[in-house]
Homo-oligomer: A and B are copies of this chain.
Amino acid sequence: MHFMTALGAAWQQRNSLLCVGLDPDPAKFPAHLQGRPDAILAFCSAIVDATADLVCCFKPQIAYFAAHRAEDQLEALIEHIHARHPGTPVVLDAKRGDIGSTAEQYAVEAFERYKADAITVNPYMGRDSVDPYLAYPDKGVILLCRTSNPGGSDLQFLDVGGLKLYEHVARLVAQDWNASGNCGLVVGATFPAEIARVRELTGDMPLLVPGIGAQGGDVAATLAAGRTAAGTGLMINSSRAILYAGKGEDFADAARQAAIDTRDAINAHR
C-alpha cells in the first residue's frame, strides 16, 4: 500500500495524529530487560504492541540501533510491526543525504532491507540526492524543513531572496520535488508560526512534527498552525515522554497511558 494511503487510513480509522518515535536507549530500560541481548527489540516491540491502535505511524530512529550494533533488531522490529499491526506505516528516521549513486544505496537500505514505508531525508544536496527515494512509487519521502533544535536557525532561518531558507525548501518540495505526491516535511513543534507558514506553502502535505513533550512544543499551537481542513495532515511525534513514561515491569502499560493522554490532548484541539 502507498505510504500516503496508509497514513490517511490510519489518521481516520484510529482517530489519531500521534506518531510514536522509537528511540531506544538501553540505559533507560526497565531493570528486567537490562542485559538481554535482544533488549532493544523486546523493549520496542512491547511499546509497539501497547500503542499501535493509538498511532498514525511509528518512527524508529536508526541512530539508536546503529550505536548499539542492533541493525538486526531494527529489521525484526519493523517486520514485527508489519506482521502484527498491518496498516501502521513505519517512517525510518535516518535523515540521509548524498549524491545519487550513494542515495540509491541508502534507498535500498531503508526500503528493501528494513522495509520502511517512508524515510526522512536531508535536502542540503538538492533534487538529484532525493530522486532515488522518490523512485520508489509507494514510499514516502519526508524532507527536513524547519527543525526543532536550537541550531536549526543557523541555516534554516537565513534570508534567501525574501524567503527564509526553510520556506524556500517547503516551496521547492511542494512545487517541484512532490510531483508524484509522495513527499512530506519535517517541521518542529517549537515554532508554531513557522508550521503555519509551511502549511500555507504546501497545501495538504503531511508534516512530521517532532518536538512536543521532551522538547517543549505546545500541542494546541501546533494543531492550530498545522492541521488541514480535514483535521489531519500531521504526524505529531513523541518519543521519550511515551517510551520512558514508566520505569518498571509495567513500562508498556505506562507507555500506553501516556500515548492515550497525548492522542487525546492532540484530538482536543483538532
User: Residues of A at under 8 Å CB distance from B?
Assistant: 23, 61, 63-64, 66-67, 69, 71, 95-103, 105-106, 108-109, 112-113, 122-130, 144, 147-156, 158-161, 165, 168-169, 172, 210
Chain B residues within 8 Å of A102, by CB: 23, 61, 63-64
Known A63-B102, A95-B97: A126·B149 in contact at CB below 8 Å: yes
The listed residue (B105, B109, B122) touching A97 by CB distance below 8 A is B122
Least distance between A269 CB and chain B CB atoms (Å): 25
Distance in angstroms between the alpha carbons of A36 and B193 in the assembled complex:
55
Known A69-B71, A97-B95: A109·B151 in contact at CB below 8 Å: no
20 A-B residue pairs with CB within 8 Å:
A23-B102, A63-B103, A63-B105, A64-B105, A66-B71, A66-B109, A67-B108, A67-B109, A95-B122, A123-B124, A123-B154, A124-B124, A124-B156, A125-B144, A126-B147, A155-B165, A155-B168, A159-B160, A159-B161, A160-B160
Least distance between A102 CB and chain B CB atoms (Å): 5
Query: Judging by beta carbons under 8 Å apart, are B155 and A169 in contact?
Result: yes
Distance in angstroms between the alpha carbons of A156 and B161 in the assembled complex:
14
Distance in angstroms between the alpha carbons of A125 and B120 in the assembled complex:
13
Distance in angstroms between the alpha carbons of A154 and B127 in the assembled complex:
7
Chain B residues within 8 Å of A160, by CB: 158-160, 165
Query: Judging by beta carbons under 8 Å apart, are B98 and A63 in contact?
Result: yes
Query: Judging by beta carbons under 8 Å apart, are B66 and A156 in contact?
Result: no
User: Would you list the 9 A-B pairs with minimal beta carbon distance, nearest first?
Assistant: A126-B151, A126-B154, A63-B105, A128-B151, A127-B151, A67-B108, A67-B105, A99-B149, A158-B160
Distance in angstroms between the alpha carbons of A61 and B153 in the assembled complex:
29
Known A126-B155, A165-B155: A149·B100 in contact at CB below 8 Å: yes
Least distance between A154 CB and chain B CB atoms (Å): 3
Query: Judging by beta carbons under 8 Å apart, are A147 and B125 in contact?
Result: yes
Distance in angstroms between the alpha carbons of A10 and B230 in the assembled complex:
61
Given contacts A71-B71, A124-B124, 11 further A-B contacts (CB under 8 A): A63-B96, A67-B108, A95-B96, A95-B98, A123-B124, A124-B144, A125-B149, A126-B155, A154-B172, A158-B160, A160-B160
The residue of chain B having its C-beta at the shortest distance from the C-beta of A147 within the complex is B125
Query: Judging by beta carbons under 8 Å apart, are A106 and B63 in contact?
Result: yes
Query: Judging by beta carbons under 8 Å apart, are A113 and B63 in contact?
Result: no
Chain B residues within 8 Å of A113, by CB: 66-67, 69
Distance in angstroms between the alpha carbons of A156 and B147 in the assembled complex:
18
